[in-house]
Structure 1
């Protein structure tokens, strides 16, 4: 079980230096999902981490920023990316489609978990939740998003609600776009996750009084760092050692704000996400 203490202790681990069997001139192909409002914002925020990783491995690299969460899964499954920082549901999709493997979970404010949320216009009257929200306009994120699609879909279905018929439904938006759509009154409700909403509020992109949170999920495992199927096992082990040795102090210089390092992980860390995917019919249980 990952916890705050394990995140802090991970930063003090000494890094061994095993031989890397990748070709000396091989380029590492990194990928990252659409965490920021635009691809250029995401690249600016996340490239210092990937540069640090490539430098420690002594390899040149390319970095692709995907436009949607499902796209990064396809890149891993097709061998177009070697290593990716992605959302939990996207990882589970990549694991089922092509055998991708989680090797670390990122820490945020020292914790390895976060929450899906649903936002509403502050003046909206909802007699009871969720039954009183019938017929309202709701925006989900794209179907590769953990907190923006999978978890709220699973929640509503567990209450006997099909969101596509219960609400005036749409999906496919980015998380920042969902927040802005609620704040501007373009929709009544929208899915998001607490880290994104808090970050947007801190950067002044939205005021906290422009929206209100009407639902919060149970804790979900944070973003994994993932390697594609067949990636060199010695390199994989070394990458895991490098990232789990990043201290909170170092994270402030090479990672986006409030990310505090990594802890080792594997597929078991993401079983709850996998179970939700099976429950909503997007995955088949493995025999």
Structure 2
């Protein structure tokens, strides 16, 4: 004789059966990360565990894109091609100005929420006063989407009434790794970089300490942002923030030690520099 189940149990069972495929087919979280390592493959290997961790905490599938330049990640987040991105401060400010992207956390590097832009020089060059002693030398800036490699040093020169395009033999558009190697190999006299990248390249043996010297260092800058697109559901944004803030260095690239909460005000100095240089005028 068949067993008759109560109607409420049958309804609950049917609802669960219908819900399971829906959950399984939920769209994946779309993550992106900027070109923090010398190659896209290096960046993916270093940062993939963190994004896999975030997705796992939310019980979601995920995809990870590695952008080839700093401006590209701002475009991707601002246009809604990705849901959440680990991006440089200037990239975040561009994405916020153009499409309302919101920061949910600032990364800690060796326990600090700040870092520095730097300018490197060939060690044999006699530069006692910078930039006076370096006038007319060749200099390589990073691409225009870089905070430390383009925006901040340009702003510093602007504040002193200097146009680096005429003050130096100027070029831009290089990656940070390429800038460091160009100085180390003597291909260029000066180049922009940031302290975290130089430390990583020294630690990996890609460049030796005696091949470069620092001739300029910025004031402390807010570290990279974890940002989300403007129309991401608030519950998803809050869950991503909670997962990031609870993460440890076990899922982060070397020397990154965690995250702290961030707001747009965290990145106000970067926005100020962008406006001073006219880069946000039409954003």
Structural mapping, 1:185-264, within 5 Å: 185-247=186-248, 251=249, 253-264=250-261
Equivalent residue of 2:105, what SS? strand
Contact 2:117–2:193 (CA<8 Å) still a contact in 1?
Answer: yes
- Give matches, 1:81-230, under 5 Å: 81-230=82-231
- List structure 1 segments (4+ residues) > 6 angstroms apart after TM superposition: none
CA root-mean-square deviation: 1.2
Per the alignment, residue 265 of structure 1 pairs with 262
CA positional deviation for 1:280: 1.0
Shift of residue 126, structure 1, vs aligned partner: 2.4
Superposed CA deviations along residues 186-221 of structure 1, whole A, max 9, x for unmatched, are 000000000000110011110011000000000000
The answer to whether the 8 A contact 2:127-2:215 is kept is no
Deviation track 1:105-142 (CA, whole Å, cap 9, x = no partner) reads: 00000010000000000001225211221111000000
Change (3 A) 1:71 1:285: closer
Structure 1 counterpart SS, 2:196: helix
Counterpart for residue 275 of structure 2? 278
**1:285 positional shift:** 9.4
Structure with the bigger RCO (C-alpha within 8 Å, sep 6+) is: 1
Q: How many residues align?
A: 260
Q: TM-score, normalised by structure 2?
A: 0.90
Cα distance in 2 for partners of 1:57, 1:106 equals 20
SS of the counterpart of 1:84? strand
Give a deviation string over 1:30-52, Cα, whole Å, max 9, x none: 00000000000000000000000
Provide the rounded CA distance (Å) in 1 between the counterparts of 2:282 and 2:75: 20
CA contact (8 A) 1:278 1:285 kept: no
Instruction: Extract unaligned runs of 5+ from structure 2.
Output: 1-21
Aligned to 2:13: none
The normalised TM-score by structure 1 is 0.89
Question: For 1:8-60, what per-residue CA distance to the aligned partner results, in whole angstroms no more than 9, with x for missing partners?
Answer: xxxxxxxxxxxxxxx73111110000000000000000000000001111111
Q: CA deviation at 1:284?
A: 2.9
SS of equivalent residue, structure 2 residue 60: coil
CA 1:264 to 1:127, structure 2 compared with 1: closer, same or farther past 3 Å?
closer
